[in-house]
Amino acid sequence: MTNELWVIAEDSAALATLCGAGRALGLPVRAVVLGDVEDAGAYGAQEVLRFATPVSGLVEDTAPDVAALLEERQARLVAASTSPTGTLVAGRVAARLGVPLAAAVESVEVGETLTVRRQVLGGMAVRTEQLAGSAAVVTIGAGTFDPAPRGEAAEVAVETVAAATDSGIRLVDTQVQQVESVNLAVAPRVVSVGRGFAAQEDLALAEALAAAIGAELACSRPVAEGSGWMAKERYVGVTGAKLKPDLYIAVGISGQVQHTSGVDGAKVIVAINKDKDAPIFADADFGLVADLYEALPLLTAQL
């Protein structure tokens, strides 16, 4: 078994994330792509093997064939994304290979054994786990590592591999859910709103600040999942998006660890909160103890 990272990706965003993980871990990457992944050869993998979408129409049904290929190639460390498809494939491949599966890891140490670190207890703690045996499958979330840039390395040819297994399932219908398309993980500046905003229309204050500095808008979980003022794709934290922006401005956010663990990679955190004892100030590089309704218009006007 060799020390390289085999990645399984169902789209180019997952491929960029997983190839970025390989770079960060200092491991050469070999990729298995499922279905039609745009520019699959352009993210720095040394080899790209493609499984066409199987007759079932579900790319995750390639898992038995992917597992057989990885076994033949003596893959030691395999990574998929934490997306629903990535998680499904990772679980099936790990079961077929008879190796442990570690979900949503933040780091992997490759020695005689594999050791992973991941958040537990809703982000309250980080656990280090040594995995039994010498091979494993892990899943890695977007934003955990910087994504590999497209086209920086020389492009490799994509080789198509025939899938032999028929799961017997047929895709009958697909209804596209209307979700907001936002990729916070690559935004250099983010203005994030919390329950300090009293009404949905007041978010216009944060939108104006974001527009003034060219930032994306994000939020705490209650703003997305509780009040439904913003799309779920925009909430940050242990169960939401994990970001590493250059600038993160938290407005009316208390700063519970479940939120701040999503931005602990931010270069600069600015907090605006009217409570001087709010925990967010412990994580902030710059803090403004102020009522957001007074501070935001003044701040935006200065920019």
Ligand X SMILES: Cc1cc2nc3c(=O)[nH]c(=O)nc-3n(C[C@H](O)[C@H](O)[C@H](O)COP(=O)(O)OP(=O)(O)OC[C@H]3O[C@@H](n4cnc5c(N)ncnc54)[C@H](O)[C@@H]3O)c2cc1C
Q: What is the pattern of x (binds ligand X, CB under 6 A) and - over residues 180-199?
A: --------------xxx---
* Contact between residue 256 and residue 273 where contact means Cβ atoms under 8 Å apart: no
Closest CA to 221 of 185, 163, 261: 261
Distance of closest approach, residue 143 Cβ to ligand X, in angstroms: 12
3 is in an annotated binding site: no
195 is in an annotated binding site: yes
81 is in an annotated binding site: no
Q: Does residue 293 belong to the site contacting ligand X (CB under 6 A)?
A: yes
Taking the least distance from each CB to ligand X, the nearer of 88 and 290 is 290
* Paired tokens of 232: 């779920």
46 is in an annotated binding site: no
Query: What is the rounded distance in angstroms from the CA atom of residue 184 to the CA atom of residue 83?
Result: 15
Q: Does residue 237 belong to the site contacting ligand X (CB under 6 A)?
A: yes
**Window contacting ligand X (CB under 6 A); options: 3-11, 45-53, 99-107, 249-257:** 249-257
* Contact between residue 229 and residue 203 where contact means Cβ atoms under 8 Å apart: yes
DSSP 107-144: EEEESSSEEEEEEEGGGTEEEEEEESSS-EEEEE-TTS
| Choice from 97, 102, 215, 253 touching ligand X (CB under 6 A) | 253
Cα Rg for the chain, rounded, in angstroms? 21
| Residues 117-156 close enough to bind ligand X by CB under 6 A | 122
**Window contacting ligand X (CB under 6 A); options: 80-88, 145-153, 205-213, 258-266:** 258-266
259 is in an annotated binding site: yes
**Window contacting ligand X (CB under 6 A); options: 45-53, 92-100, 183-191, 229-237:** 229-237
Query: What is the rounded distance in angstroms from the CA atom of residue 215 to the CA atom of residue 191?
Result: 6
Residue nearest ligand X, CB atom distance: 237
DSSP single-letter state for residue 8: E
**Window contacting ligand X (CB under 6 A); options: 53-61, 65-73, 139-147, 237-245:** 237-245
Q: What secondary structure, in 3-state letters, does 228-268 show? A: CCCCHHHEECCCCECCCCCEEEEECCCCCHHHHCCCCCCCE
Q: Please give the residue ranges that form the binding site for ligand X (CB under 6 A).
A: 122, 194-196, 220-223, 235-240, 252-254, 256, 258-259, 262, 273-275, 278, 291-293
